[in-house]
Amino acid sequence: IGLCDKYKVNKPGILQIELHPYLQQDNVLQYCEDNDIIVTAAMPLGSPERPARFRRDDDPAPMEDPVIKEIAKETGYSVAQVIIRWHLQKGVVCIPKATEDWMIEENFETLNFKLSHEQMER
C-alpha cells in the first residue's frame, strides 16, 4: 500500500492467497480488511487433487481433518461444504475447483446453512 501511494498507483482491490483451515493467514486477512482489500481463497480445500509431483508428505489435508469431518456430520453437509462455508463466514471469496455438475450444485448449497460460532472456532 505504501508503494502504491509512493508511485501514485491504485492499491489492489483483490488479493488471492492460499487459504484454508490449516493456513488461516489471520494477519493477512486483518490487513486486507483494514485496507478494504477483498481476499480470494486459492486452494480453499487444501488442493487434494494436486499432482503427486507437486505434493510433499507434509502437505495439509483439511478434507481429512477429523474435527472438520465431525462438523460435517453434525451439520449434514459434506466436508468440502463445511470448509467452503467456513471461508464465506470469514468474509473470504472462495473459488473451489469443481469439475462435475454435482460439485457445482454442492458448492451452491453452502449458501443454505451457517456454522455456529463454536463450529467456526474449532
**How many residues are present in the chain?**
122
Mean pLDDT by 10 residues, the chain (122 residues): 82 92 92 94 80 70 91 96 96 91 94 96 90
The x, y and z cell numbers of residue 112, run together, are 443454505
Reduced to 3 states (helix: H, G, I; strand: E, B; else coil), residue 61 is: coil
Would you state the pLDDT for residue 61?
A: 82
Exposed / middle / buried, residue 116 (Cβ in 10 Å: 0-12, 13-18, 19+): exposed
**Long-range pairs for 23-29 at CB < 8 Å and ≥24 separation?**
23/60, 29/90, 29/91, 29/92
